[in-house]
Structure 1
């Protein structure tokens, strides 16, 4: 009876991949009969289920409270508290209401995004075939325990980390874990060194990987969080999250705003104290100034801008899991992208056919032709090679009748069948003409496969031998090589030269040979000789059609793109050159290079990563190291990926972008954004939308801050001249929270100006309040505030009642806002050079803001609350003309601020 087996200590002393299969079975107390049901149940109780813990969706209340974690919100909460202390309940209520609305909008948006992401969730493994009590059964994969004997076959998803017992032609696609695009041949009798990296442990299969070909039996050695996938999940959790770019900029902006406000309050308080003004009056003035200076509507406007950005991104195949990630992607200066499945299709394609006489063809990588539309092949060499590739083949490929094709079997064989179809051959018709008589199955130790075919030409016709495999395995079998002029004596040096040229481009190369079977002797590997070497086929993981264009667009946008992959350096460099990422003089940085640089210290590592564009043979931990190195250099880093190996880097980057279709669950949960089409071009589309969102944020901030600055100028001037407050706190809140907010919604919906991807990224250290905005805010504030003060001063001098003068000033400020929102549509373009009706919501919002104020002028309730009254038509016309002076001022500033073009 199996009981009380402790396999943990032994595994810690010597890793499973270092032991032979018999020792593994002995230490796991398991064998050909597998575990007993009782022992499996006991181990399940000890080790837990074979599953990664599912992340819990944050509750709505938590999302709601999280909306208040923002420096700007803190400032507004302080303003609300001051208003409460001062007894200004109306002011405090207005601020509190706007904060609640903002939090509700943000929480609803994030909750929707989380649920959209959850809808993409796929189970990693559902069922597994095991031997228990000597009998084969199928059980839920989460019930597997260490010591279980698992059976694998082509197409299976590996359910746990396994040490192979027996394997026949086993190939495993480990791209989700290691980034290696080609399937890995596995050997059950191989023992690895302790330091052997995961990508090279050929006696072990890992949870989440896919069996591409062959079959095997293997013992479970790790489940759940103890698997390599589980360890990477823990690494992801340990990775430090960084503040998004927008939060960093808002934080700096809030600090500057607070300092400026404190200085302004200090100046005013000093002036009033010198005049022996009562402290209570000074305090009320400070509260009014705070209400003027702080853009209470900004948090809601920011949330609206980001929400609009998320809706636009969904239309461009990007799901946003965190609102702030919209702007983060637009701010990125570096995109560190995985290769397999992101830039490439993660699909092996037989693309290059090369013959030893120097000729060759390139096979189109497009869709397969219909059976009734197969092309005619007039190249005899191509036809013969494709015939051998289709006959010496164990895969299946046949049409479904609806234009789609069904394929199964080894990925290499599938690619060869597709190639045969591309050149006009039909495998089924070929087998009718050349029926299969015997075959030598592919084994990694052999390095080739061979088939023997009868001849439908009749009895006595020669039988055909077809062989495919590694060139060095086929050369001893061949005496001649094919050329356009017939058979030629074999030239091994020439064959190797063709092989090297294909390999330099990152191809996986197969050689093909054929010959007549003499009709005597057993059809075995040892009896194959006297064959004719037909040529070589280069197999590639093709680029996504849009990838090169997307990379070029990133380059034009000033974004540094670097590729991170577990592939061989030669393959990585070839792909990078095809993408336009690397030039002829570039060379990839390998994982070993990174390790050496890291050992020398952060400075050495940063010097290496500063300009590198291609990383090859990098481990998951090194991907994280690269991202952190770039961040130390002040870069805003976006990381794309789909595998478990990408999760730590996705989590640690400023913005992580996971593939929604083929991405693993660990990768999806680590990311801020999901691509619904797994298309790298969608990342670029997301960058464009992020830049539009940031532009709109700046437009909203300029609009709100410039009108707030005008109010500050108005208050400073009236206080300096000893005049009463020109607007009451409630009137200020009406301006800042109602009429302002209605129009800022329109600005949040501004379309792009069309040149977003032709500009370099914003410098990471750039403030929201850069020189351009400072200049525009100062001019706007001085013009609007100065004119409003002049009007207020003249009205009081002419004997107007204070409430009547305030009524006129309030209307003038609303009209100023209506003009200023049009000035806010672009930082660099004249209002007369913009499509006036391109944003109808903005125009409707401006009209709505004016309509709201008109309604208040004639509403008895609002007349009492705001202290307003109707005005005459002549006054309307005069105030509108005065407000248009702001338009003139901004147009002059735009022209004066442009650089003078060089003469000639």
Structure 2
């Protein structure tokens, strides 16, 4: 609202006056009017913190102890008159700062672009119809519908509220949900926390349902005003980065100790202190992977963008790598493994009569009404009346529906039977309602029926049986036979259908019912029958499950459906064999009473969980974690939030997920598809591989330089490279190539390998063997060449010139050794990463140019070499390739064969 509007006391106005001022009625705003108000008031969003500017990022690159050392070296060079060295160090600092700032600037921009993809949506009434719009498009006067699990999208004045409880802790700090009353009329000075007839942007609907008019959007909401006085807090560093930082610190300490020892030895040989200082600084900076955190950010940012293309939005950057590490995926059935397009396929009475329904979701014009018996007609009536979905017929004959998938399927069934909810409500006005909640397991409505009251109930059969004392049959109502009803349900469930029971009743009197009194009165009803609904599998779901099995990942299906239904779907997916059973929520509850060991025994090998509540997902997740599994779990409801938060990786449904579920998750699926989870696992594994490739390249090249200097110093030779040459080597070899490795595509076998052990360090035995081998070979061969040239009478400067060229060749060869830990360089697709190829050629080309540039020849102390010398040095550099190929063959013989089935605890 405008500033003048924001000062109005909306909580004090009677509802008619409120609607008059906002010029909005029961049909909501028109689309045209909403567009006009959006242009007038602006979008319903808070200003996002602007990413830091390039200049700030540039200056931040100089905040590092190693950079301080280099700056000191540059200052010393200036003081002693070595202006060429000081200039070169300054250029290196400048280039490193520019490269780092550009990478970080791009990462911030990528994160900003991803935030734009994470659009929240709200249900509103516009043009008299219920539609979903982006919350940013809400305007004052919009009529918003709220249900449990929703995040309130704007400040609202309530028009209707049923059992509404709102968690306003984000705004007021009040830990307990607040019960709201749409009929309350507050006084002028009522504090925000006591305005019972309002809901505020950012708060959470803990229970109940409501309609409300938008009274303020964006910065004019209470949350918006609060945001103006708050500063954005710095993000906590992700665990992966913390592990890398700890590793880098340990490596730094070791290298600095080595450098200090070399400095002491050189001092003992009367080497000039300035040369020792400059060399120690250059060696430390070249050997320590100071660019590793930024390289990791680049790897994860690239993985994030790749995941977006595969329908996965990353909310937390480190989740890119985490998803690739999971050993167990707990997946919802409905909408994730299936299409979430429920269709009523069959109606059955409790005495066994079954009536198949047409399978098409679009109602053909000539489809005859379903009137096979009075029981079926009553089932259709309950299905339409006890319903919260919306169904509208379009001009082309198609239907457009919104709301819960089950309710949509029931409305379509009634429509095909020749009845609409609007017609039935006109004949039987709604008097009271119990909304469906997972903990209840049923929904009920009370309607006027002349002088009587009509009760309509739908829900799980086991929930309705205690409410009923009779059942409908083709021969009229008869005493309830629980066993026959259960047997009929089992027959329907055997086909993989989701089964919903229907009941009705007639009451005398005109008593007004609250929700509590209504629930207590639900007795002596008639069980009408059952509706079987099918939700076909997504076509790619079975293949995705097979891919997980091949990758050693155990997929568990979590559903609230009947065990027979769950097992039927699981067998179709290949999740369960003929002898495998399902663990039910009841069994889990009994195990919880026994203790953690009993729960772990149930979950150790179970892959199908049926009739489990959202709260029991948390029990399953914690049990699997106790067994050492790395768990990813999917969810969409407010009650899924604890499991999403507790899992190693929480995956929320982007289409049907509640706002609370989305905010609790690390990843969002834009298509709610299990295959997208599997795609995310593959991309996560690729990201983890690329992290290891970058680490190996940076550490191994640094190790080679340390080995070279240790050997030269130990044997009393001159320093093999000057400080400026070391800095040049570090710049040429460790910038473009590491970015190229970050862009590496998958090797093609990511989903044929078992998950890495959850507690495995990045620097595992395989990495250690590869680094030691690389460092010894490159450093050792470099030392041998340097020593041999000196023995042949070459000058120190000429030997250093050849050695510098050899080290550049070594590290350009090492880039290609870094592309895979398990595949030979001769098996790799050479042109699959053109940026890496171009970067390597550019690095080599820059060094060649420096050998012919008069300025760089003077600064670096280099000069051109002949073709024969080039060939000899290249032959020596290729020995590094042969050494790594030999190590690969040895490691392959020792390693166990590939695991092509899911892992077991």
Give the TM-score range, shorter chain. 0.5 to 0.7
Are 1:792 and 2:783 matched, yes or no? no
| In structure 2, C-alpha distance between the alignment counterparts of 1:623 and 1:809, rounded to whole Å | 61
Aligned residue runs from structure 1 range 753-792, under 5 A: 753-792=747-786
3-state DSSP of counterpart to 1:537: strand
With over 3 angstroms needed to count, the CA separation of the structure-2 counterparts of 1:475 and 1:635, relative to structure 1, is closer
CA deviation vs aligned residue, 1:4-57 (integer Å, no higher than 9, x gap): xxxxxxxxxxxxxxxxxxxxxxxx99999999999xxxxxxxxxxxxxx97763
**Counterpart among 830, 837, 845 of residue 839 in structure 2:** 845
Offset at residue 658 of structure 1 (A): 3.9
Deviates more, 1:393-402 or 1:741-750: 393-402
Contact 1:381–1:534 (CA under 8 A) maintained in structure 2 = no
Q: In structure 1, what is the equivalent of residue 172 of structure 2?
A: none
Deviates more, 1:657-666 or 1:393-402: 393-402
Offset at residue 827 of structure 1 (A): 0.8
| In structure 2, C-alpha distance between the alignment counterparts of 1:558 and 1:899, rounded to whole Å | 21
Contact 1:609–1:626 (CA under 8 A) maintained in structure 2 = yes
Contact 2:375–2:529 (CA under 8 A) maintained in structure 1 = no
With over 3 angstroms needed to count, the CA separation of the structure-2 counterparts of 1:58 and 1:481, relative to structure 1, is same
Q: In structure 2, what is the equivalent of residue 730 of structure 1?
A: 724
3-state DSSP of counterpart to 1:406: strand
| In structure 2, C-alpha distance between the alignment counterparts of 1:342 and 1:264, rounded to whole Å | 55
With over 3 angstroms needed to count, the CA separation of the structure-2 counterparts of 1:91 and 1:646, relative to structure 1, is farther
Offset at residue 557 of structure 1 (A): 3.1
Contact 1:569–1:617 (CA under 8 A) maintained in structure 2 = no
Q: In structure 2, what is the equivalent of residue 510 of structure 1?
A: 501
Contact 1:244–1:324 (CA under 8 A) maintained in structure 2 = yes
Aligned residue runs from structure 1 range 641-720, under 5 A: 641-645=635-639, 655-665=649-659, 667-669=661-663, 671-720=665-714
Are 1:371 and 2:368 matched, yes or no? no
Aligned residue runs from structure 1 range 138-177, under 5 A: none
| In structure 2, C-alpha distance between the alignment counterparts of 1:759 and 1:364, rounded to whole Å | 45
Q: In structure 2, what is the equivalent of residue 57 of structure 1?
A: 48
Contact 1:337–1:640 (CA under 8 A) maintained in structure 2 = yes
Aligned residue runs from structure 1 range 327-406, under 5 A: 327-333=321-327, 335=329, 349-354=343-348, 368-369=361-362, 371=364, 385=376, 389=380, 393=384, 400=394, 405-406=399-400
CA deviation vs aligned residue, 1:85-136 (integer Å, no higher than 9, x gap): 654643365245324422432233233323432354336477899xxxxxxx
Deviates more, 1:881-890 or 1:631-640: 631-640
Offset at residue 752 of structure 1 (A): 0.9
Q: In structure 2, what is the equivalent of residue 118 of structure 1?
A: 116
Q: In structure 2, what is the equivalent of residue 134 of structure 1?
A: none
| In structure 2, C-alpha distance between the alignment counterparts of 1:73 and 1:333, rounded to whole Å | 39
State the TM-score, normalized to the length of structure 1.
0.67
Aligned length: 768
Offset at residue 792 of structure 1 (A): 1.2
CA deviation vs aligned residue, 1:116-164 (integer Å, no higher than 9, x gap): 32354336477899xxxxxxxxxx99899xxxx999999x998899999
| In structure 2, C-alpha distance between the alignment counterparts of 1:63 and 1:670, rounded to whole Å | 32
Contact 2:331–2:556 (CA under 8 A) maintained in structure 1 = yes
Offset at residue 759 of structure 1 (A): 2.2
Aligned residue runs from structure 1 range 192-231, under 5 A: none
| In structure 2, C-alpha distance between the alignment counterparts of 1:771 and 1:629, rounded to whole Å | 30
Contact 1:396–1:414 (CA under 8 A) maintained in structure 2 = yes
Deviates more, 1:254-263 or 1:547-556: 547-556
Contact 1:73–1:299 (CA under 8 A) maintained in structure 2 = no
| In structure 2, C-alpha distance between the alignment counterparts of 1:85 and 1:496, rounded to whole Å | 89
Aligned residue runs from structure 1 range 254-653, under 5 A: 254-275=248-269, 277=271, 279-333=273-327, 335=329, 349-354=343-348, 368-369=361-362, 371=364, 385=376, 389=380, 393=384, 400=394, 405-407=399-401, 414-419=408-413, 427=418, 481-482=473-474, 492-493=481-482, 495-498=484-487, 500-501=489-490, 507-511=498-502, 536-539=530-533, 546=540, 550=544, 553-559=547-553, 583-584=580-581, 586-588=583-585, 616-618=612-614, 638=632, 640-645=634-639
Are 1:829 and 2:849 matched, yes or no? no
Offset at residue 313 of structure 1 (A): 1.4
| In structure 2, C-alpha distance between the alignment counterparts of 1:496 and 1:768, rounded to whole Å | 57
Are 1:742 and 2:774 matched, yes or no? no
3-state DSSP of counterpart to 2:583: coil
With over 3 angstroms needed to count, the CA separation of the structure-2 counterparts of 1:327 and 1:612, relative to structure 1, is same
Offset at residue 775 of structure 1 (A): 1.0
Offset at residue 290 of structure 1 (A): 0.8
Aligned residue runs from structure 1 range 812-827, under 5 A: 812-827=806-821
Offset at residue 830 of structure 1 (A): 1.3
State the TM-score, normalized to the length of structure 2.
0.67
Contact 2:371–2:417 (CA under 8 A) maintained in structure 1 = no
**Counterpart among 871, 876, 879 of residue 877 in structure 1:** 871
CA deviation vs aligned residue, 1:776-815 (integer Å, no higher than 9, x gap): 1111121121111111112222222322222211111222
| In structure 2, C-alpha distance between the alignment counterparts of 1:341 and 1:81, rounded to whole Å | 58
- CA-atom RMSD in angstroms: 6.3
| In structure 1, C-alpha distance between the alignment counterparts of 2:147 and 2:299, rounded to whole Å | 51
Unpaired segments ≥5 residues, structure 1: 1-27, 39-52, 130-139, 178-185, 189-203, 453-464, 515-530
| In structure 2, C-alpha distance between the alignment counterparts of 1:589 and 1:110, rounded to whole Å | 48
Offset at residue 591 of structure 1 (A): 9.6
Offset at residue 865 of structure 1 (A): 2.7
Offset at residue 254 of structure 1 (A): 0.9
With over 3 angstroms needed to count, the CA separation of the structure-2 counterparts of 1:585 and 1:653, relative to structure 1, is closer
With over 3 angstroms needed to count, the CA separation of the structure-2 counterparts of 1:361 and 1:259, relative to structure 1, is farther
Contact 1:350–1:538 (CA under 8 A) maintained in structure 2 = yes
| In structure 2, C-alpha distance between the alignment counterparts of 1:69 and 1:687, rounded to whole Å | 34
Contact 1:158–1:210 (CA under 8 A) maintained in structure 2 = no
| In structure 1, C-alpha distance between the alignment counterparts of 2:621 and 2:567, rounded to whole Å | 23
Deviates more, 1:790-799 or 1:341-350: 341-350
CA deviation vs aligned residue, 1:170-189 (integer Å, no higher than 9, x gap): 89999xx9xxxxxxxx999x
Q: In structure 1, what is the equivalent of residue 804 of structure 2?
A: 810
